[in-house]
Amino acid sequence: MGEAQVSLQHLFRVFTKPEHKDSKLAQIEQHLSDNILDFLSQHVVTKKTSLEEIEQDFSDPKVPESPEFVSSHAETLLDKLVAHSVNTYSPTFIGHMTSALPYFHLPLAKLLVGLNQNLVKIETSKAFTPLERQVLGMMHNLIYDRPDSYYTEHLHSARHALGAFCSGGTVANITALWVARNKMLGPKPGFAGVARAGLPAAYRAYDVNNVGVMCSKRGHYSLSKSVDALGIGRDQLLALPCPEQTLRPEEALAAGKRYQEQGNKLLAIVGIGGTTETGHVDPLDELADVAKELGCWFHVDAAWGGATLFSKRYRHRLQGIERADSVTIDAHKQMYVPMGAGMALFKDAEDANTVRHHAQYILREGSKDLGATTLEGSRNGMAMMVYASLHIFGRRGYELLIDQSIEKARTFADMISRHPDFELVTSPRLSLLTYRVCPDSVQEALGKVDKHTREALNEKVDKLVVKVQKQQREAGKSFVSRTRLEAPDYPDQSITVFRVVLANPLTTHNDLAAILAEQHLLAKQTSDWQALVNQDSPLTEASRG
Amino acid sequence: MGEAQVSLQHLFRVFTKPEHKDSKLAQIEQHLSDNILDFLSQHVVTKKTSLEEIEQDFSDPKVPESPEFVSSHAETLLDKLVAHSVNTYSPTFIGHMTSALPYFHLPLAKLLVGLNQNLVKIETSKAFTPLERQVLGMMHNLIYDRPDSYYTEHLHSARHALGAFCSGGTVANITALWVARNKMLGPKPGFAGVARAGLPAAYRAYDVNNVGVMCSKRGHYSLSKSVDALGIGRDQLLALPCPEQTLRPEEALAAGKRYQEQGNKLLAIVGIGGTTETGHVDPLDELADVAKELGCWFHVDAAWGGATLFSKRYRHRLQGIERADSVTIDAHKQMYVPMGAGMALFKDAEDANTVRHHAQYILREGSKDLGATTLEGSRNGMAMMVYASLHIFGRRGYELLIDQSIEKARTFADMISRHPDFELVTSPRLSLLTYRVCPDSVQEALGKVDKHTREALNEKVDKLVVKVQKQQREAGKSFVSRTRLEAPDYPDQSITVFRVVLANPLTTHNDLAAILAEQHLLAKQTSDWQALVNQDSPLTEASRG
């Protein structure tokens, strides 16, 4: 391992001289630039390596004493890290929301680091601050479509913020609920407001037992983090059952009224614009009515689905989102921006002031520094990636991408439905769907048996699904994730399902067919499959189990 | 402006084909690779452009309808964005903590985007999760130096986390105080704990009026954000005066006891390992004693100064940090990693469990997914940059960089002290210092006059300092920031000072001399200067003012 010289001279070179064109790092870079898919398929090892084996390579807690040459370190990164990474660019990696990115992000990433701006304040970001404000304005406009004069007045206003750019949807959700909390429990005669006086004093001042946030059981786990962090408490996350995968307005209204009658205050209803597990969209318009009737904040978590607004054909699926007080959108999901580009947008540009902070050396009163109303402090210039993407794709480009994802999901759903040994569990509303492998005969039996037998059978199918999902992942050709949920057909029981996210534009119908075929093959090779189908009758077998 | 084709075929090309070698974006990339300093000095415009003018370029809230060619957009980025960015690589940009980065981060940034991993879960990060855990282990080891067996047991344990990697120091501070809060107000017989039951119920269960966090007035504004977000309330941030720039242990103890006697609970003392404004380090060892006596959490915010631990010569300045329950360190500060690499480290790897969250489709119980104990959800693989830096610099490389920064600050302080018309306000402990321009005769007068006259004089000097700082920034050759603080010589009055951060290894003594000379020249050209020195006696003039 090349030990480098310990001298300032050597270190300065690391800052001022690029690696030689023939160096390992330069070669990696060139390969990435020329053909990233080839780079990944050449360097990401597909054969199974256990996590424990990988951990061996990353177990030394000592900071190395001596410097190492960049190139010898580049070898290490290739062998130990890249080799055992996940090929998220692969068209058959359809298990999560991370996918291939457009090429231009590679050079832009370099530009971003080369500029190394800090968006917390204008003094370290200059044009990046107006740019970020414009990006927030564009996304705000996409959702709320307020009159031009609204943007003229607020886009670059030192006293307003149309939203908060942040590292991801979790921080966006926390920020939105933080703003909602500080607004609802704000200052009033005799009370300094929750931001200053704290939550216990606020509950006393407003005479409430508890404050709650309502969503369906498909609410993202970040909501639970939010109510924990914000001091509200996880028990006050009212996650209503949703066998149809969406929050039912009449139930939300009834639950909200019950909650309020018990001396509580409902802080917010969170509608989901594309659940993480199934891609379902809550009835946002009706939920906006409910929030209005209950007098609470309405937040829409559209981290995944927000980009559907680019599509004229499908944007109506998010109807009502324009009535939300705040909306979360992740550009690193369906906008194909690298990881780290979340946004919370506020209908009313005044609202961010409920979390405004100032400091002497930056964020001075009256400054346009963005850090004054964000949860995070120092932030990088990721907004540039969103800005570039919005221009390079344009609304119509994004529309094409969104439309083809949704249509591909429908095609895949058809393929699953037509296959006798697969069962579509939730059909796609956006580009997500869930299904499971389940022998034809068992599917038939499930429709006829009693509750107890059905549950026992489903548990056996669960085991099969888990096994197939793991084996497929380990085989390394493709990746489908899994989750557990209450499905429309089995409302009283959580079942394990394959979960598919059709985000990657490069995924073809052939890829999908191959994934199904592989799962079918894997399933049939298991003893679980044999046990399920080889019994005289699944009913008797199941009741014996 | 080149409008690109609206077709899936074109869009797929954006995903699968790099830009041609002669394209604008490829040229930008090549220039960055060959000579980043040259790229920046060629493209970042130094002449004054008002923020309002820049905002004109970023004012359209409409998402463009049609796609644009990558290369024509690259032109836009160069002209509108890069031209009006801040040259943070410049050796004379010494006003903030953002500086030049080593070259290898440029190709690594590309690799990071090319891999596009998501660290929230192993399924989308694989080797990156063990790598991040190792990085946390190395930083933990640097601070706490626990026995090897501790790391063997905890580094890759699914039930433990040595820390939380996050976007920056603010999130790290929030995370640390969140953990502290949930631990102090944790579950006990008859109470489910604050994470579940919320803060008001917790205060009742623990019979406390309020919960407070103590720090000096130099505490970072993120602490105020933290107590707001966590529901504690900003009024419970006990920020003690610190004319010597550090928290005095005996005062902290007395204030803590008074606070507790009033029926409150002290959540944490926050010691600062390098204040943002002056680089002072609180007496950490003594504060650890105070925290112990008061029975509260001890957090050290070493976002800036933590890297001093790499230096054998200077690490003693942080003595006592190893007694902290949690420590914040930003690798994007003195570790020269691109923006977005904060860390909270926990002495006890059990503590992160107080904020553990699970979900069905990821972060399943027993998984090693890092997202289970971080505030953020999806996160990029920035830990790779820290990992690479730790190897390429090694401890000894970082030591050289830290040592030369501290020594350069001392040299600059000497230059200021020797100059008759400058006044060193706080001398450097680490690589930060504050000073001001002030005519020799006025400095002399300030030592003799009464309080009222001194205050009036200082206000005039404040105006001069603000003017010079702004003019120097606008001239574009160099940048020094400014802040307001109570200085040892003027304890009852906040004064405006220049603030300097000597982070950039490329800054030379000549650069520093030139910055002083420019400030002196600018100052002497102002009417304020003339008014200050041309009066018969500053005493009479000041008392007239």
Contact yes or no for A339 and B116 at CB 8 A = yes
Are residues B411 and B326 part of one domain? no
Residue A64 located in a structural domain? no
Pick from B480, B338, B492, B365: which is nearest to B412 by CA? B480
Are residues B330 and B200 part of one domain? yes
CATH of the domain at A121: 3.40.640.10
Give the pLDDT confidence score for residue B312 in this predicted structure: 98
Kindly give, in sequence order, each residue whose CB lies less than 8 Å from that of residue B269, ignoring residues fewer than 6 positions away.
B213, B214, B215, B247, B252, B256, B287, B290, B291, B294, B296, B297, B298, B299
A302 is written with which tokens? 């559209």
Alpha-carbon gap: A72 to the closest alpha carbon of chain B (Å): 9
Residue type, B436: R
Give the pLDDT confidence score for residue B538 in this predicted structure: 46
Q: What is the mean pLDDT of residues A312-337?
A: 98
Distance CA A288, CA A324 (A): 7
Per-residue pLDDT reduced to its tens digit, B8-66: 888 899 999 998 989 999 999 999 999 999 999 999 987 778 999 999 999 999 999 99
Distance CA A401, CA B7 (A): 10
HEC string of B24-55?
A: HHHHHHHHHHHCHHHHHHHHCCCCCCCHHHHH
Kindly give, in sequence order, each residue whose CB lies less than 8 Å from that of residue A20, ignoring residues fewer than 6 positions away.
A26
Sign of CA dihedral A60, A62, A66, A71: positive
pLDDT band per the 50, 70, 90 thresholds, residue A538: very low
In this structure, chain A runs to a length of 545
User: Any alpha helices (H) in A18-144, and if so which ranges?
Assistant: 24-34, 36-43, 51-57, 70-76, 105-115, 128-144
pLDDT band per the 50, 70, 90 thresholds, residue A160: very high
Q: At residue B361, does pLDDT exceed 60?
A: no
Residue A199 located in a structural domain? yes
A359 interaction partners in chain B (CB closer than 8 Å): 220-221
Q: At residue B90, does pLDDT exceed 50?
A: yes
A222 interaction partners in chain B (CB closer than 8 Å): 377
Per-residue pLDDT reduced to its tens digit, B443-471: 999 999 999 999 999 999 999 999 999 99
Share of chain B above pLDDT 90, in %: 84
Q: Is A116 on the interface with B (CB under 8 A)?
A: yes
Q: What is the mean pLDDT of residues A102-121?
A: 93
Q: Is A510 on the interface with B (CB under 8 A)?
A: no
Residue A173 located in a structural domain? yes
pLDDT band per the 50, 70, 90 thresholds, residue B536: very low
H/E segment holding residue A330: strand A326-330
Give the Å distances, CA to CA, from B536 to A330, B421, B524, B533, B544: 64, 18, 18, 8, 12
Q: Is A158 on the interface with B (CB under 8 A)?
A: no
Q: Tokens 């037992």 map to which residue?
A: A209
Are residues A363 and A489 part of one domain? no
Q: Tokens 């829409």 map to which residue?
A: A300
Number of structural domains chain B divides into: 3
Specify the 3-state DSSP secondary structure of A420: coil
Residue B133 located in a structural domain? no
Pick from A425, A428, A427, A432: which is nearest to A461 by CA? A425
| Contact assessment for residue A507 and residue A421, using Cβ atoms and an 8 Å cutoff | no
Residue A93 located in a structural domain? no
H/E segment holding residue B271: strand B265-272
Q: Is A90 on the interface with B (CB under 8 A)?
A: no
Specify the 3-state DSSP secondary structure of B246: coil
Of B359, B393, B414, the one marking the end of a domain is: B359
A101 interaction partners in chain B (CB closer than 8 Å): 15, 113, 116
Per-residue pLDDT reduced to its tens digit, A348-365: 999 999 999 876 655 666
Q: At residue B2, does pLDDT exceed 80?
A: no
Are residues A342 and A242 part of one domain? yes
Distance CA A200, CA A203 (A): 5
Q: Is A476 on the interface with B (CB under 8 A)?
A: no
A335 is written with which tokens? 């906008």
Kindly give, in sequence order, each residue whose CB lies less than 8 Å from that of residue B21, ignoring residues fewer than 6 positions away.
none
Residue A48 located in a structural domain? no
Contact yes or no for A67 and B393 at CB 8 A = yes
Distance CA A459, CA A456 (A): 5
Q: Name which of A23, A129, A392 to mutate to probe chain B: the one with the most chain B Cβ atoms within 10 A of its Cβ.
A: A392
| Contact assessment for residue B405 and residue B500, using Cβ atoms and an 8 Å cutoff | no
Per-residue pLDDT reduced to its tens digit, A471-521: 999 888 899 999 999 888 887 899 999 999 999 999 999 999 999 999 999
A1 is written with which tokens? 């391992």
The 10 Å Cβ neighbour count of residue A207 is 8
Residue B368 located in a structural domain? no
Per-residue pLDDT reduced to its tens digit, A289-318: 999 999 999 999 999 999 999 999 999 999
Give the pLDDT confidence score for residue B543 in this predicted structure: 47
Are residues B191 and B304 part of one domain? yes
Instruction: Tell me which residue in A60, A229, A397 faces B134 most closely, judged by beta carbons.
Output: A60
| Contact assessment for residue A125 and residue A112, using Cβ atoms and an 8 Å cutoff | no
Q: For strand B237-240 and strand B211-216, is the pairing parallel, antiparallel, or unpaired? A: parallel
| Contact assessment for residue A521 and residue A477, using Cβ atoms and an 8 Å cutoff | no
Distance CA B451, CA B457 (A): 10
B400 interaction partners in chain A (CB closer than 8 Å): 6-8, 11
User: Any alpha helices (H) in B78-233, and if so which ranges?
Assistant: 105-115, 128-144, 148-154, 169-184, 194-197, 199-206, 221-229
Contact yes or no for A359 and B221 at CB 8 A = yes
Of B324, B359, B394, the one marking the end of a domain is: B359
Q: At residue B540, does pLDDT exceed 80?
A: no
Are residues A218 and A169 part of one domain? yes
Buried b (16+ CB within 10 A) or exposed e, B256-266: beebbeeebbb
Q: At residue B307, does pLDDT exceed 90?
A: yes
Are residues A517 and A427 part of one domain? yes
Q: At residue B258, does pLDDT exceed 90?
A: yes
Specify the 3-state DSSP secondary structure of A112: helix
Are residues A183 and A130 part of one domain? yes
Distance CA B342, CA A379 (A): 10
Instruction: Tell me which residue in B59, B124, B231 faces A98 most closely, judged by beta carbons.
Output: B124
Q: What is the mean pLDDT of residues B430-446?
A: 96
What distance, in Å, lies between the first and last C-alpha atoms of chain B? 58
Average pLDDT, chain B: 93
Are residues A528 and A431 part of one domain? yes
Share of chain B above pLDDT 70, in %: 96
Distance CA A33, CA B30 (A): 11
User: By residue range, what is the domain housing residue A269?
Assistant: 117-379
Distance CA A162, CA A164 (A): 7
Of B42, B58, B85, the one marking the end of a domain is: B85
Are residues B319 and B172 part of one domain? yes
Instruction: Tell me which residue in A58, A131, A400 faces B11 most closely, judged by beta carbons.
Output: A400
Q: Is B178 on the interface with A (CB under 8 A)?
A: yes
Any idea which of A210-219, A390-399, B14-23, B438-447 has the lowest mean pLDDT?
B14-23
Per-residue pLDDT reduced to its tens digit, B162-179: 999 999 999 999 999 999
Residue B151 located in a structural domain? no
Alpha-carbon gap: B97 to the closest alpha carbon of chain A (Å): 9
Q: At residue B429, does pLDDT exceed 70?
A: yes
Nearest chain A alpha carbon to B481: A361
Give the pLDDT confidence score for residue A544 in this predicted structure: 44
Per-residue pLDDT reduced to its tens digit, B260-302: 999 999 999 999 999 999 999 999 999 999 999 999 999 999 9
Q: What is the pTM of this model?
A: 0.95
Are residues A235 and A136 part of one domain? yes
Q: Is B71 on the interface with A (CB under 8 A)?
A: no
Per-residue pLDDT reduced to its tens digit, B235-245: 999 999 998 99
Q: Is A125 on the interface with B (CB under 8 A)?
A: yes
Are residues A370 and A255 part of one domain? yes
Sign of CA dihedral A239, A243, A244, A250: negative
CATH of the domain at A478: 3.90.1150.10
